[in-house]
Every structure is written in C-alpha cells, then in structure tokens.
Structure 1
C-alpha cells in the first residue's frame, strides 16, 4: 500500500542535524477512551512510550527491509540492477496505555539499518536519515472516533543515546537519562522527506529478550575485568555503575587470549563491538538500545559491575528437541539451535551476528529447511522471502547475494537460487502451495537468468566484475570448480521446482523444466565425468555427491564416494558439499558412513570445533573468522529426517502423509527427539541393546513406520510402541 493508505495525512518528521537518536514528544486528548491503535514507523528503529509506559517489548522494529532506492556505487563490486522496495510499519493496540484526557506520547529513534552511519564491510550502505511518522485511531465510550497523526507540532530533544551504530555499538550520556519525563529544552521537529517505497504492516516476529544469563567473572586485569557468558550468544551485557559519575566501557568478543584479554581474531579488528556510558549514577543500569552484539566474553571497566546479560533474537520458539548417547550429535543440535537463533534479527537470517550481520542468500537457503523444521519460523521466512524477491533485478531476473541487499560476495545458484529453494521448502514443510504459486514466475525468471550466464550448458559467470563462487569454506583450498557446483545446484533447484509445480497443477512448467534438466545434466557429464574412474572431477571435495544428488554417476560414482569417506577422518567439503554429501549417504542407506563423518575428529569436523570449547558453529572448519555461522549446521536436519526417521512420502507436503523410517548407525543405541509440524507434534525415541530394540513413536494422525527391509507397521494417532527382538 502507499503512504496515505496506511498513514492518512501524517507527516514524516525528524530532528535537527547532528542528532541520530532524539526523543520526539507529543500529546493527544481523548475523553473516556474505549480503544486505541497506533500504526507507527520510526526509521531505522524506534521505541514507543505512552504516558510513561513502554508499549511493547519488541526490539529492533520495524524489521529490516530494502527500504528505498539508494546509491549502490559505494559497494565493493558494481550492482546496476533495478530493485523493488518496501518499508514496514508496526501496529499496536494501545488501549490499555491511553487515559481519559491528555495523553503523552514519546518515541526514541535509532539509526538501525536505514540510517547506518558507518560500516567496515562492503561499503557505505545508508538509505537516509532518521525519521518518524505515526497515526493513532481511537474511539471513546460514546462511539466518538479520533485520529491523531505525526506532524510539525511535535517536539524533540537529544536522548541519552549520543551515538548508535549496529556494527560498532553505542555511546550514552547518562546525564540525559530523564528524556521520558523531562518537558524542558525541547525544540520543534522538522518535516522530513518521504521516500519512494511500498508500505506493509509487520507480520514477522520481532526481536525480544528471550533469555537472561548471569555472567561469571574470570579475570581482574586492573582497570578492567573479563567476564564469561558460558556460551556464544547474541544480545548485550547490562551493567551498572559502582560509583557516581562513572564513565563505563564495555567491549565484547567471542574468544579470549591466554593472558585473559579479549581476542578479536574471530571478529573484525576494525569493527570492535563497544558500548560507552558516561556520567552514570551508582546503581544505574546501562545497556545498548538499538544494537545487539555477538559474543561470549566481555570486558568491563572496574567502575561498574554486570547485572545480567540479555540474550536477544527474533521471537521464534524452539519447537524441537534432540538427545542421544552420542555427545557429538547432542553438541551439533545444541550448537546449531544456538547459532541459528543468534542469527535471526529484525526479520533477517544473517551469516553472523557480529561482523557482516547480513542476510546472505547462500547461508539462508542452506539452513532454511532446518530452521523451519526445528523452530517456529514460518512468518519469519515468509518475510525474508519478500526480501529475496525485492532484491531480484526487475530487468534480468538476477538475485543478489544478500537480502535485503547490503553488498556481499557469493555466486549464482548457491546464493541467488534461494528464490527457488525457500518457496519450495515452505511448500514441503508447511504445505504452503500459495506462496510457491506466487513465486513461481520469479523462480522461472531466475532460471532464465542462469541460462543467460551459461556457456556450453554450464553456469559459468554472474555479473561482470562481480563474484561467482561455487562451494565455499572447505578445510583446504577450493579445488571443486565453480561451473560444476553452480550447474549441479541449478539442476537440483529445477528438480525441486518441477516437483512443486506438478503439485499445483503446472504440468507445462514441469515438462519444460524436465527438458532443461536433461540438457544441463548432459553438459555436466560431457565436461566433468571420467568414464575411466567413474567419478566427477576426481570426487574433489565431494564432487561425486553433487552429481549423485541430481541422478548422475550411478552406482559406480556412489561406490567411489562411499569408499573414499569410509576411510576419511573428517569432511573435506565446503558448505554445500557437506550438506549434500551427508544427505546422499543417508538417502542411500549408508547411515554408518554419515554418522562417522558427523562425529569424526579430523580437521574438517564438528569435533574440532567442540574440543576447542565452541558452543556455536564456526564459519570455517579451522576457526578462522566468525565463530557463529549457521551454514555448516544445515546437516542438523538429518538427525531428524534420517536418524529419527521423521519424514513424509515423496508426494506429500506439510506432513500430510507421515512416514517414520529411522536409520540407526552402529555406535548409536539411544536417541529421542521431536519436531512440531503444521499437523502437530511428531516424536520418536528408540533404545537398542544386543538382543532387542524398542521404538516409541507419537504422531498426530495415522502414519507408516518402516525399519530395515522387512519391518513395516501402520501407526495410529497418539503414542505407538514397536518392539523388535533380534533373536527372532
């Protein structure tokens, strides 16, 4: 909708130059109020008070989006695409906050993404300056209706927040901390320019404080002390001064050095997460308002003490569980959940919560199925899908590497292919045919784009002067070639799209895709398959698995892969290869090999992270850069779909036809877990001894259970017990 449809005759207003976080004050009068609702947009972020009471616990609203057109020449590589734009507003019922007579309304603004002032990665990304608009619709007990809007009658003054930046942190002047009660020193607001965009009311879960942790003091280093959260999180320390007039500094990092000082190797040394609080009163709590940090450890000046640490992320509940007698699998599940949640902020699944903080379409498409299975995230991903769509070129169908677009490297199918993968997974996990139907034309436009960037049938380039990655972050230098990876991923995405197209009755589209799939398969066979060895590119970094996954190579290629990884002590694969290899092994009944890789102890292993104290998943197998990157954690979904066997028939979506088909590897004798589907909870547990095995399966409707080649049972709604005696 356009501005007037949402806000009527409201005006955008702002403050004087030099202030990036004002408090904007106004008033409105209602006799005997019955109900009231506010529609509000404060860019970049806002917090709202009515009569001194904060209206919501939401943080970092409105959610991030591709707000409006801006100069893209400041980014590190050229983007000439014409994109689409949207801005979200938030709607709150404020009935319980409104009083009879004069009401006070105050809003504090922060830069957020819209008014980002500085950034050390990818380039300057500012859309515009901070601004506010709102409309209040109210009714009193007599039925009289009221409308109040933001206009030039509002007033502003500097809030306590002198500087605020998503990447670098905040500076507060605590002597100004009376901004919610003060009535002096206010100035008239200034009318702010409008921006060209479409407006939507936010329906995506906002960030909230989801947990609170009491930090542990590790070291007193004289002027500062070092504290440990016990886990790597996203959020911030809440601290209080121990003396009046304290100037407090807090710095955050993921790691510490042997001497107890903070280690910034897994961060960006030019972008230290730091908050400063000046002139704080004794006992006064201080915390950032418009940013979060990604950290485990923090450094605090010794004129203050920690009160608590607030863990903040999008309000997406964990709707799954997993526990087994494998310490490594337990760690993998816990680490993935913690990492994924730490990377869900302001409606965007990010790569990391502390360095780039961007919605990379590569990381996002890899992890979307796991997140949809294990978290209450349907609305979250539906919103992110709109971001992906907004970042598709109107001219040629190209999809950016980040959504909303904020620069960032990547490649064709592995990144832009998110526009095909996310709608497909929403169809499979939630049974959402309408979302897939709506996005199908956009998916096909992207496929046409990939064809336009192909040579000899292989996807071999993207935009001139830009990136064109294939796989990413293997433990050694990349040897699997980019055109092979991108073409294999493109074929897989067409296979997904063909399946979902058939489900919605798009038979002509499915037939067209089948023809294109076969053409691309022949191109891969011609360019990369060796009849002498039976492998693709010598099975470099999981290459055979990419081919097997799209129906190429046959038993010979698979046997080569199984033999190679039966002898391996770790993964040698990147983010896509790790996921595909693990799935290919499970799908072909090689649970033992897949389990050994997931629990392996070599360089490219999750154990290598765990043994070094990691509580979240790393960006690189060796620990270089970020220590909170969910992309390798995409394999966590296979603990549920293969080991516990919670799956559905091939032609099923939204778990309409549930199948429980556990694959239990040697060395795993006890496992339990559940997921929550649109049809209800599905739970599986098993215990195995030398002589027998017991399964306990809870399903929300009739389902089928299969184990091995000769064990098949119909399951009834509710709890089912299946006993297998091996001696019989």
Structure 2
C-alpha cells in the first residue's frame, strides 16, 4: 500500500485509551503492555471501512505491520507482541474502504512506564525523627553526580501523602496533589515524568516536599486523622542516560536525607501555614520502610493540574471591616497573592462559598477551617501560595496586610485535567447559565476522584452522586479513564458479601449496610462508560464486582424479590424533607430499593450477554423479570397507581419500565403529569427522582411539562439558584433561602453536581443528541422542542469524531440540523413527521425541515389544559389573587388539582371554599373574561 494509490485522506493520529498524560501531551505514557487504540476516520465517500492496518515503529527503527479485517476504530486491540517496560516507539494506522487504503496517519509517539514490580529498585523512605503528624512538612532529598549531559531521563515517583518534587530547585511537573487519592491499601498510583531538561552535568539535587494529603490528614466529618497510616514516605526512581553512554539510577534508599521546612502545618480541610522566613533545616536520617511494590500501579488517569486562573475583583470591606475578595465564581483550588510587608507579619486568608449579611458564611464548612496563613520574610514582593491544600470558595478575606500592599490576587483553579468534549446552548439565558453551572461543578468535584463537594469536612467519592451524574459527565468531558480508575478502587473496596461502600475510597470502614442508588454505581457507571465511550474493557473488568452486588441484593430481597426492611438513603434530599433529616423523603424507601434492584439486575443481564456469559445472562434476565413483576405486584395497582404517590416513584417506574401493562404505564404517566401540575411545576424529587423526571414526562407524552419544570424559577427548581446568582450547582434545592440566608441544616454545599444530572436530558432530548450504540457509532437524533425555547443545539467530540444536533423554530417551520462523524450513522426522528421510524443518515451534514405550530389556539377544555398554558394560567391566577381567592399564584395549583377534569368555567367553585360560594358567580365572570381573551 502506498499513499499514491489512495483517494482518501489519512485517519487522525492514534489515541491511546491508556494514556495517563495531560491532554495534548506527547509522547503518550502507557501503563499497559497491550494498549487499546482509537482513531477517527476521514470522509470515505467510497464506502464504509472494512479493515485497518497498524504499523509499529520501535525506538531502534524496526517496523512491524499487522492487518486486521475489522472496521473497528474505537479501543481496537493491540495486535503486536506485549510491550516491555520502558519501551518507546510510534504507531500509525491506515484504513481500507471500497478496496482502497488511506494514507498512513501521523505517527503517534508512546513510551511505556514501569510495568512490573521487579522494575523497582527504589524503596519507600520516611523521615526517622522529622515529619510528625502535627509538625512541619518534611522534605526528602539527595544530591548526585552526572558525568555528562543527560540525553534521556525519567523520574518514576509516588508517596504516602502528597508530594511536590523538584530537580535542581525547579518543579518536576505542574501536577498538583500527587499522587492523588486511591484505595491506598490496595492501589497506590505512581507517575512517570520526563525530566531530561532539568538535569545538568556535575552535581544535581532531587527533593520532594511531603504533605499530609488524604493519607494522613483529616478525612470525614468526624475529623479522623491518619486513616491510612501515620508516616509519610517517598518512593522515587530516577533513570538517566547520558551522552557518554553511561546510565544511572538514583533511587530512594537509606542514603537519602530528611529536612524540616517552613510549612508549619498542612491539611486538605484546614489549610496550610507557611513561615517564609524559615530556611530548610539540617539533614536528618530516613528509615527504609518494608512496603512491597505489589500495590503500585502506573497512572491510569490524567493528573490534577491548574486548569484556570481567576483574577479577583477589586477588594471591598465586610461589615466587620475585613478585606474581601470576590473571584467571580465558586471554584476549587487556592488563593495566590503577591504581597509586600515587613518580616514577621502574619497574613491570613479565609475562604467561603457564599456570604451572609456581607460576611463569609463559614457554617457550611462544618469542621474545615479552610484557612491559609503566612509569616512574611520581608524584603520585597513575596508570592503566597499553599500547594499542599485546596479549598472550595468564591470569596476570601485577607487579614494582616494593607490593600495597597497586595499586588495580585487570583484563584488558582484545580481539577483533573480532562479533555472537554461536549457543549450545549439554547435561546434561554437561564438554562444556558444552568448548564454552565453544571460544568463548573463537575470541574470542581472531578479532582482525582468524583467527590460530593469540595469545601467542607467531607469531599468524599460518594457512590450515589456519581451513579446519578455519570451520563452527564460522559458528555461534558473525556472522563472514561478517570471513572474507570475510580471503579477499580470501588471493586477493590467492595466487601466480600458484595456490599459496595457508600463512598470510594472507603473511609467508612465499619459501616456495612448496602444502599440502593449508592451501591448501584457498580453496575450503572461501567454500563455508562460502555454506552458513551464504547469501553467494553472496563465493563469486563468490573463484571465480577457487578455480579457480587446483584447477588447480594438477591439474597437481601429473598424469595419475594422485594428489597425491604433494610437501611436506605432513599430519595435523598427530597425538598419536603426537614433540613436536618435529609433522608425523610415522601417516596417509600423499599419501593426505591426494589426499583434499583430491578435496574441493576437488567444491566447485569445485558452485560453478561455482551461478554458472552450466556448462562449468567439467562439467569440474571430471569431475575430482572422476577423483580420487575414483584415491583408491580407490591407497589402498583392494576390500574397503574403507585403505593408512593410521588413523582420519584412514577419516574422510576416509567423510565426503568417496571410496569408490565400499557394501561399501567399510561396511568402512571398521566398521574406523574398531574402531580407536577399540582405542585406548581416546582421540584418534588430528591437525588433519585431528579435525573429521571424530565425523561419520564417526555416518554409519557408530557414534554411540555418537562419544559415547565426546567424553566420554573421559584424554589425549589433548577433555575431558582440561577436567580440567586449561583455559579455552581447546589446540594439542596434551597441551599440558600430567598432572603439570602443559608439553609439551617448541617449539610449544605453550594458546589454539588448531583442535581445537575438534568443536563443529560438537555443533551439527549432537548437538543436531540443521544447514543444509540456504544460510543455513538449509532446516534439517535430525536429533538423534543418545547415552550420557552426558540432553539437549542448540542455538539460532542465522540470517539468517532464530532457529532452535533440542533433545532430552531423559524416562523411556522422547525429546522433540524445534524452532523454525523465518519464511521457513524444517525437515525433522525422529527417531531410531527409522518415516518415514525425515522430516517437513517450517514456521515456528513444534514438539514431537515417540517411544519411547526407552537400552539393550536384552542380554548382549554379543562382546568388541566388551562394550567398547561403558562401565560393563560398566570393571567387567571392574577385574577384569583386580585379577588382575594388565593394569596399568590403558587397557591392556585394544588387547589386547581381538585378539579383538573372540570371545564375552566367551573374554576371559581373549585378554588373557593364552600363558605365563600356566594362569590363564585362574580369570580367566574372575571375568569371567563380572561378565558375569552378580553
């Protein structure tokens, strides 16, 4: 094959699914001997791909070529021999279509890191007399000689605690909070760095500052310390090749030294205290710890890095006269200041997400001090930075220095450095802000693990939160490797009986109960990665853990297949729950648990079928059917009403297909719609129901009500925080009350992505861009326009390339535009189109147009129809308020629900109490004038 024989362009350069480097870095750093390969196709007008050819070029110039008769281009298997540690090379791909080959892609460089425990010569070393839990942060290092210029050098590095490594005084990497947080008892991440440019002939010095981090600092609301151990330690192996042909390995051992530093205290919750006057202390001995390298694993997810810098607005003063900085948005990271002042002056920086009465609101921090302190060295401008901690904040007060002596104030924003992939936009500015807030909350809480919140004494990898949010996350960023790594920790932490911890890594070691929606992360998240990224490998890797979980549920439910009588979180943070009882939801917890049991059993059956476990597939399919039947018999009437007459109950039953008969499903959909109307289109769902309710309404034929929910601005609603100036998603619908005070509950966060799971519906149903086959190889374009939006669009960098879908209403026409990447197809189903099956289209740009009418102009035949017309009902409500029948518009909805089926000409008698029926005629006359359009 030669490029001259091809009429096609070349595929994109290969992406390695196992690349743990930051986005855009080269070469790829691989921790697998058989990496998975993906590429994107050029336009292939001659037909679909039928084969691909891979060319491996080794570091010594040798080449190998393998041809595979497969159109696969996402996570294609490695066809060559297993790679050894420290291998280097490039890989190229060419694709065949219609008998012709494309040119070779650009070569994708890679190198493998240390793949085997036997590759390590380094040992963990820990300060012998320094580095006490409440003492200064220790520095571990040593000097070494190089006889000539370094031509290649790799530093393999990890620690117990977090580390900042320097070579010859320069930071090795801009990675933060390394090595991150994993299930340290089972898995400890190391990362490999190219440090060639930092070395020089002669004397060099390698050091690492160690902080408490997650390993030894506070973890959890109880303030427990040293959950994993009480000694910080470093493991470093520097491998150097020099121009004179010599090689050198500088590895941590008993010859290294420890030193005190000016970091007097450091903690992720409480902050960092630094004395800038204090030089490095004299050398002290280290102990070599007896820690085998078996739990070490190569980095399998991109690092935490600074991803943005937010300058502060000019400072103001709080009522107490503290100097206050506003960074414009609720972010995660730390404040960096450039200041000047005399030696010995102490500067204090305190952080908070929101203000109350003009002061920092610190009560939501609970036990987290979130305070950084600095003692100035004096003598000029000094940069104040605390890289051994992080905070969640929008506001910060600075004490101890005059405003004119602060030369710069900025927020250093931290996040796992994930490649952004998806965008959404629409005509409604509030919804646009809502979507931005979802993305900002994801960025702040995807900090090495998917956390619940970044500011208080918690910041844990709660399984329930990510189970809910994973589909949204998979659209917004390339988080496949990030979540796959976290799932490996989940599998490692799973209890022998199949119980999944509430949070991963597991800091609740003595809490054993299983909980629906939380434990179901073990089935839902791997399946989401398969659906959205085509990640079959993680599904196969997690399959044993998925099976253990469902088997546990099967035992817990017993012969009647109803999971009942056990601890459950339930529909957590139902807005009707009291502030200090977040689990006191209206939906029956046994109903919630059994619904999740059915869902996980079905996912497991589908997974077993996909992976070729045919006996398991049959067994779990029967189990899923039995649980579905038990759910319907236990919690539903034959007509379709549910024991828990709540939106969450109906949403689960509809979206997860838990009601066998069409009659039941129709009744459930209509009842859900009436509950939404009766509540005035305000939210009545917690963690469990919120991700499902808009889909349930849409599938039941009530998409217009889903839009009413989306666009409602009173509390509780998605847009209420937007009206209150929120820049991130809140943990509670009412984290801040309308008067500006913070919710009185002891659990309140202003950066909590779970309720932002509605963004998945915005992508799939509002814009109409949904996966129909793994990795978006098949795309379902079925936009559902609704009242309040004139246009919406979404775009996604899928594994196959850029896909997009969007619509706009132009007069009496609906225009839909679709982009399909090479290698993929889409089925386009248009609202009101006669062909219900849709039209299947191939790669390229497509435009469709159908007639569109925003309303039929018909007078409502029932009070229910009047409620559905937002403008009409507002006008009717204004009459009811003016006439004194109701105190406000919100009060009209539950009253109207008493007569939804009645004609609007009887609205007055429905609303007025019997004692005031003498006013019915006069009130109805005023209402009739509105109905007549007068």
Name the CA shift for 1:115/1:705 in 2 (closer, same or farther; >3 Å): same
Mapping of 1:331-480 within 5 angstroms? 331-345=433-447, 347-355=448-456, 356-393=458-495, 395-407=496-508, 412-455=515-558, 456-460=560-564, 467-477=567-577, 478-480=585-587
The match for 1:697 is: 818
- Bigger Cα Rg: 2
Structure 1 residue 322, shift from structure 2 partner: 1.5
Mapping of 1:242-253 within 5 angstroms? 242-245=340-343, 246-253=345-352
The answer as to whether partners of 1:48 and 1:106 remain within 8 angstroms in 2 is: yes
Structure 1 residue 619, shift from structure 2 partner: 0.8
Residue 637 of structure 2 corresponds to residue 540 of structure 1: no
The answer as to whether partners of 2:682 and 2:714 remain within 8 angstroms in 1 is: yes
Q: What is the aligned counterpart of 1:104 among 205, 214, 217?
A: 205
Deviation digits for residues 686-712 of structure 1 (CA, Å, limit 9, x no counterpart): 221232222222220342222124264
- SS of residue in 2 equivalent to 1:536: coil
Residue 90 of structure 2 corresponds to residue 90 of structure 1: no
The match for 2:184 is: 67
The answer as to whether partners of 2:550 and 2:600 remain within 8 angstroms in 1 is: no
Q: Whole-Å Cα distance in 2 between the matches of residues 445 and 676 of structure 1?
A: 34
Name the CA shift for 1:132/1:299 in 2 (closer, same or farther; >3 Å): same
The match for 1:72 is: none
Structure 1 residue 639, shift from structure 2 partner: 0.8
Q: What is the aligned counterpart of 2:298 among 198, 201, 210?
A: 201
Q: Whole-Å Cα distance in 1 between the matches of residues 728 and 507 of structure 2?
A: 25
Deviation digits for residues 539-569 of structure 1 (CA, Å, limit 9, x no counterpart): 2242112122332142111211122224432
Residue 332 of structure 2 corresponds to residue 234 of structure 1: yes
Structure 1 residue 632, shift from structure 2 partner: 0.7
The answer as to whether partners of 2:418 and 2:477 remain within 8 angstroms in 1 is: yes
Q: Whole-Å Cα distance in 1 between the matches of residues 122 and 397 of structure 2?
A: 48
CA RMSD between the two structures: 2.3
Q: Whole-Å Cα distance in 2 between the matches of residues 303 and 600 of structure 1?
A: 45
Mapping of 1:496-575 within 5 angstroms? 496-531=603-638, 534-551=640-657, 552=659, 553-567=664-678, 568-575=680-687
Deviation digits for residues 453-504 of structure 1 (CA, Å, limit 9, x no counterpart): 2254222366xxxx52122001002121211101101211222222333233
Q: Mean alpha-carbon deviation: is it higher for 534-543 or for 96-105?
A: 534-543
Deviation digits for residues 88-111 of structure 1 (CA, Å, limit 9, x no counterpart): 111112112121222111111111
The answer as to whether partners of 2:342 and 2:377 remain within 8 angstroms in 1 is: yes
The answer as to whether partners of 1:50 and 1:97 remain within 8 angstroms in 2 is: yes
Q: Mean alpha-carbon deviation: is it higher for 684-693 or for 310-319?
A: 684-693
The answer as to whether partners of 2:816 and 2:847 remain within 8 angstroms in 1 is: yes
- SS of residue in 1 equivalent to 2:337: strand
The answer as to whether partners of 1:122 and 1:406 remain within 8 angstroms in 2 is: no
Q: Whole-Å Cα distance in 1 between the matches of residues 589 and 309 of structure 2?
A: 44
Structure 1 residue 521, shift from structure 2 partner: 2.0
Residue 168 of structure 2 corresponds to residue 21 of structure 1: no
Name the CA shift for 1:671/1:2 in 2 (closer, same or farther; >3 Å): closer
Gap regions ≥5 residues in structure 1: 69-84
Choose between structure 1 and 2 for higher RCO, CA contacts under 8 A separated by at least 6 residues: 1
The answer as to whether partners of 2:588 and 2:644 remain within 8 angstroms in 1 is: no
Q: What is the aligned counterpart of 1:278 among 356, 375, 390?
A: 375
Q: What is the aligned counterpart of 1:678 among 781, 799, 810?
A: 799
Q: Mean alpha-carbon deviation: is it higher for 652-661 or for 690-699?
A: 690-699
The answer as to whether partners of 1:343 and 1:353 remain within 8 angstroms in 2 is: yes
Name the CA shift for 1:243/1:142 in 2 (closer, same or farther; >3 Å): closer
Structure 1 residue 15, shift from structure 2 partner: 4.7
Deviation digits for residues 638-689 of structure 1 (CA, Å, limit 9, x no counterpart): 111111111233xx21111122111111221112221111111112232212
- SS of residue in 2 equivalent to 1:175: coil
Structure 1 residue 593, shift from structure 2 partner: 1.5
The answer as to whether partners of 1:427 and 1:500 remain within 8 angstroms in 2 is: no
Q: Whole-Å Cα distance in 1 between the matches of residues 251 and 806 of structure 2?
A: 56
Q: What is the aligned counterpart of 1:635 among 754, 758, 762?
A: 758
Q: Whole-Å Cα distance in 1 between the matches of residues 208 and 225 of structure 2?
A: 27
Q: Whole-Å Cα distance in 1 between the matches of residues 363 and 798 of structure 2?
A: 40
Could you state the TM-score of these two structures normalised by the residue count of structure 2?
Answer: 0.71
Residue 845 of structure 2 corresponds to residue 722 of structure 1: no
The answer as to whether partners of 1:236 and 1:309 remain within 8 angstroms in 2 is: yes
Name the CA shift for 1:601/1:519 in 2 (closer, same or farther; >3 Å): same
- SS of residue in 2 equivalent to 1:570: coil
Name the CA shift for 1:197/1:113 in 2 (closer, same or farther; >3 Å): farther
Mapping of 1:50-65 within 5 angstroms? 50-65=167-182
Q: What is the aligned counterpart of 1:329 among 431, 434, 441?
A: 431
Q: Whole-Å Cα distance in 1 between the matches of residues 686 and 223 of structure 2?
A: 23
Structure 1 residue 4, shift from structure 2 partner: 4.8
Deviation digits for residues 332-371 of structure 1 (CA, Å, limit 9, x no counterpart): 21110001111011x2000001121000000011111111
Deviation digits for residues 605-652 of structure 1 (CA, Å, limit 9, x no counterpart): 012211221111111111131011111111111111111111233xx2
Q: What is the aligned counterpart of 1:613 among 709, 717, 725?
A: 725
- SS of residue in 2 equivalent to 1:415: coil
Structure 1 residue 267, shift from structure 2 partner: 2.5
Aligned length: 695
Q: Mean alpha-carbon deviation: is it higher for 2-11 or for 452-461?
A: 2-11
- SS of residue in 1 equivalent to 2:775: coil
The match for 1:219 is: 316
The answer as to whether partners of 2:341 and 2:401 remain within 8 angstroms in 1 is: yes
Q: Whole-Å Cα distance in 2 between the matches of residues 546 and 570 of structure 1?
A: 18
The answer as to whether partners of 1:239 and 1:307 remain within 8 angstroms in 2 is: yes
Q: Whole-Å Cα distance in 2 between the matches of residues 665 and 688 of structure 1?
A: 10
Residue 269 of structure 2 corresponds to residue 152 of structure 1: no
The answer as to whether partners of 2:267 and 2:388 remain within 8 angstroms in 1 is: yes
Structure 1 residue 7, shift from structure 2 partner: 2.2
Deviation digits for residues 112-145 of structure 1 (CA, Å, limit 9, x no counterpart): 1111257544744521121111112222234332
Residue 154 of structure 2 corresponds to residue 37 of structure 1: yes
Structure 1 residue 535, shift from structure 2 partner: 1.4
Could you state the TM-score of these two structures normalised by the residue count of structure 1?
Answer: 0.91
- Higher relative strand content: 1
Q: Mean alpha-carbon deviation: is it higher for 160-169 or for 90-99?
A: 90-99
Name the CA shift for 1:621/1:193 in 2 (closer, same or farther; >3 Å): same
The answer as to whether partners of 1:247 and 1:278 remain within 8 angstroms in 2 is: yes
Q: Whole-Å Cα distance in 2 between the matches of residues 264 and 620 of structure 1?
A: 17
Q: Whole-Å Cα distance in 2 between the matches of residues 433 and 96 of structure 1?
A: 39
Structure 1 residue 249, shift from structure 2 partner: 0.3
Structure 1 residue 25, shift from structure 2 partner: 2.0
Name the CA shift for 1:267/1:429 in 2 (closer, same or farther; >3 Å): same
Residue 808 of structure 2 corresponds to residue 687 of structure 1: yes
Q: Whole-Å Cα distance in 2 between the matches of residues 646 and 307 of structure 1?
A: 41
